[in-house]
Structure 1
Amino acid sequence: MTNQIQTARWWQAPVTRIAGMTVGLLIAVGLTQIIQARLEGLSHFVIGGVIAILPAALWLTIFYFQNRALTPPKAMVKEVFIASILLAAAVGVPLVRSMFRIQDWFDLSVLHEALGAILIVGVTQEFLKFAAVRWTVYPTEHFREHLDGILFAVVASLGYTTVLNLYYVYDNPSLDLAVGVIRVTITTLSQAAFACVLGYFLGRAKFEGDDIVQLPKGLVLAALLNGIFTFGREQVNQKFEINLLNSLFIVVAFAAVVLPGIFALMQRAAMQPPRKILETRSDHFVAWVLIGITLVALGAGWYVKNSAENRTRAFQSTANGISLMFPAYWSQGSEEGALVAFSDPRGSTTFVSRPRAGMDMSASVPVVVIGEDVLWLKGQKLFIFSRQGDATAFARLENIWRNLLASVRLD
């Protein structure tokens, strides 16, 4: 009983500190709003970097300044933290941003955004947090009770959050200071909360057995919560102006809904009596099960990505005798001398068609640094399909460009 009381007090102190840190961060946000600062140039690089790493640094003090015998070994805390940073930087962020390019199609429809948030963002982030714990401290004697699952999973989330926050800060060259502070705070709190769910099941798997059920359950539930939160945050950002008030609303709503459940999990884990590690299935077998679940989810996410990018809309002009299919996320505009003009908001690329006949063509073809024109002759009419933009957009949109041309019908 004494050990249980000590353990309960151990986690209650960090909870109090977390609450204090959160209040302190909100006060800091209020001050930044008064200052009305916008980070640019050197200040963006220096202050933005500090903002990105400060939440994780504050949370890590919880682990480094505990004097109780039940405190996790500092060396293992550092190992899990660094492993998570490396996994996020080398695998997680490149997978989501470069391979799935989720930022290019994430907001095409509510369904695609919700599925992408869960299957790609949620599963990737939670599996890599699991990996940071599983292949460092989990098999060792330092993972010695239920609560350690939550504590080390939170440490893994702090490493992952640091990378996410750095990308966010440096992807916004003119960053509003107040909004930036709120965003990194939201990211830190949410990632830690999902890690608590994952860590709770890590502890149960090791000390209660049935890891073939507990670990997949923890991964799926944490990924689901992660995806729902990501989807909700993006919906708020799309439908409302990104400002201090809306950002604070997200923090308060998230804290009110999620944190009570998280603290209940921590208390439940802390009050579990010490148990011997149970003989369970092969660790390698269970790890492969989770890898399989992750790959299946990412495969489904790849299908969602292709489905989103391949959605099309029809354009038809009876007056000019032209019809074609174009990607649903393109915007239709106008351009002087053009029959039809579309623009890809993600690739800064413009697609236009111009009819020309019986005149000097040199003045009608766009003069661009990088461009491609396709000339079609229909009777006495010459149609020019032109795209222009940066080299990156050209490579990325090659298949879409070919599909568009294949859909053209000239009457």
Structure 2
Amino acid sequence: MDLLIISIAPVIIILAYIYYRDKYEKEPLPLLIKGLIAGMIIVLPVAFFENILSSFLPQIFTSKISYAFGNAFIVAALCEELFKLIAVYFLIWKNPNFNERFDGIVYAVFVSLGFALIENIMYVFSNGFSTGVSRAFTAVPAHAMFAIMMGYYLGLAKFINIKKSYYFTLAFIIPFFFHGVYDFILMSHVNWLLLLFFPFIIYMMYRTNIRMKEHEMNSVFKF
């Protein structure tokens, strides 16, 4: 029971926080639950394609550092952020409830943390309580921050009439890049890179908070 609690608790806390930050027009809970479930479902295709791509890595990336790079960017970040974006798009892009910029952040986080919930349960039950504690302050918030970046640009793509394809592309490229860097730091096992891990997380926290504030200030329901 303790393992299940430590697996689920950080996800619930972050979801509650994001729901609270959506100040001016709350999203319907049934649609948010659909997003959470969609995130859980995409674990299956993500795992499938990650396994396929992983099988090619030893032939392409022969050194330890290059292998870590390929594993971080091509396997993990590419597959996970791409399927998250696909799930968010089909969930809300044409849904009338997606009616302001901040909504992109809300739905992206719910989808992303649905994925993170299943991933977290698997890691914690395999590796124990201490893994759950460390992931509660690192991996789970990181998934949420990648999603905030994705949702920020989805909001721009939806509601700014120029550069729609540009912003939509950034909705994948930016979280893909940050996710890749995050995983590469950990997978590299290079001491000087590992020293950058927590500063990198703090920078992402700062960046995503600024992005949320920007969409909050531009809410069409604020006035």
Tell me, yes or no, whether TM beats 0.5. Answer: yes
Kindly state the Cα deviation for residue 64 of structure 1 after the two structures are TM-superposed.
6.1
Which residue in 2 is equivalent to 1:403?
A: none
Please report how far the alpha carbon of residue 65 of structure 1 lies from its aligned counterpart in structure 2 after TM superposition: 6.7
State yes or no: 1:264 paired with 2:210. yes
Instruction: Give 1:166 deviation, angstroms.
Output: 1.7
Q: In the alignment, residue 74 of structure 1 is paired with which amino acid?
A: L
| CA separation of 1:100 and 1:216: change in aligned 2, threshold 3 A | same
- State the partner residue of 1:218: 171
Is 2:47 aligned against 1:93?
yes
AA paired with 2:160?
E
Shift of 1:272: 1.8
Corresponding position: 1:191 with 2:143: yes
Q: Which secondary structure does the structure 2 equivalent of 1:167 belong to?
A: helix
Gaps of 5+ in 2: none
Q: Give the distance between the partners of 1:269 and 1:66, measured in 2 at CA.
A: 10
More helix by share: 2
Distance 1:62 1:260 in 2: 16
Q: Distance in 1 between matches of 2:182 and 2:66?
A: 15
How far apart in 2 are the matches of 1:66 and 1:207? Answer: 20
Q: CA RMSD in A?
A: 2.7
- 1:228 aligns with 181
Contact 2:148/2:208 (<8 A) preserved? yes
SS in 1 for 2:92: coil
SS of aligned partner of 2:9? helix
Partners of 1:153 and 1:198 within 8 A in 2: yes
Distance in 2 between residues matched to 1:121 and 1:202, nearest whole Å: 21
Q: Deviations over 1:333-380 (max 9, x none)?
A: xxxxxxxxxxxxxxxxxxxxxxxxxxxxxxxxxxxxxxxxxxxxxxxx
Q: Which amino acid aligns with 1:95?
A: F
Q: Please name the residue that 1:110 is paired with.
A: 65
Is the deviation greater in 61-70 or in 262-271? 61-70
Distance 1:191 1:218, change over 3 A: same
The verdict on how the C-alpha distance between 1:107 and 1:254 changes in structure 2, with shifts beyond 3 A counting, is farther
Match status 1:143 vs 2:143: no
1:218, distance to aligned residue in structure 2 (A): 1.9
Taking structure 1 as the reference length, the TM-score comes to 0.48
Amino acid at match of 1:128: F
Higher-RCO chain (CA-CA 8 Å, sequence separation at least 6): 2
Structure 1 residues 93 and 170 mapped into 2: Cα distance closer, same or farther (>3 Å)?
farther
Equivalent in the alignment of 1:201: 153
| CA shift for structure 1 position 157 | 1.4
Shift of the 54–231 alpha-carbon distance from structure 1 to 2, 3 Å rule, reads same
8 Å contact kept, 2:106–2:151: yes
The two structures have a TM-score, normalised by structure 2, of 0.84
Report the counterpart of residue 10 of structure 2 in structure 1: 55
- Aligned partner of 2:187: which letter? E
Counterpart amino acid of residue 87 in structure 1: I
Conservation of the 8 A alpha-carbon contact between 1:49 and 1:166? yes
Q: Higher strand fraction: Structure 1 or Structure 2?
A: 1
Structure of higher CA gyration radius: 1
Question: In the alignment, which residue of structure 2 is the partner of 1:332?
Answer: none
Measure the CA separation in 2 of the matches of 1:270 and 1:202. Answer: 15
Q: Which of 78, 101, 118 is equivalent to 1:163? A: 118
Secondary structure in structure 2 of the residue aligned to 1:62 = helix
Matching residue of 1:385: none
The total of aligned residue pairs comes to 215
- The unaligned stretches of length 5 or more in structure 1 are 1-45, 241-245, 276-411
Partner of 2:98, secondary structure, is: coil
1:274 corresponds in structure 2 to 220
SS at 1:135 equivalent: helix
Aligned equivalents of 1:258 and 1:114: distance in 2?
A: 20
**Identity, % of aligned pairs?**
21
CA distance in 2, matches of 1:261, 1:138: 24
CA apart distance, 1:239:
5.0
